[in-house]
């Protein structure tokens, strides 16, 4: 509803052909976007060696990837 009212400019939607045809009939344009790849690494800060900030920083430097 917010998309159709112009309150937002984009949203995730269903891949259902009926939904896509309905949105197209309302003047919407859709583009297929692949899934987002999110990786998360959690540290237990109460356990060694991750209780040491320097160790966590070393991991951060080792894991940083060049973005685009």
pLDDT beyond 90 at 6: no
pLDDT (mean) for 19-34 = 79
Whether 56 contacts 43, CB under 8 Å: yes
- What's the confidence (pLDDT) of residue 35? 66
- What's the confidence (pLDDT) of residue 60? 82
Q: What is the mean pLDDT of the chain?
A: 78
- What's the confidence (pLDDT) of residue 49? 92
pLDDT beyond 70 at 67: no
In Å, what is the CA distance from 64 to each residue of 24, 49, 56, 57?
40, 20, 12, 11
Longest dimension (CA), the chain: 59
Query: What confidence category does residue 65 fall into, taking pLDDT thresholds of 50, 70 and 90?
Result: low
């Amino acid at each position: 509803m917010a998309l159709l009212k112009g309150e937002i400019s984009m949203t995730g939607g269903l891949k259902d052909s009926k939904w896509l045809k309905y949105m197209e009939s309302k003047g919407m344009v859709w583009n297929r976007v692949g899934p987002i790849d999110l990786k998360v690494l959690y540290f237990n800060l109460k356990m060694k060696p991750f209780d040491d900030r320097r160790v966590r920083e070393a991991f951060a430097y080792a894991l940083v990837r060049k973005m685009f």
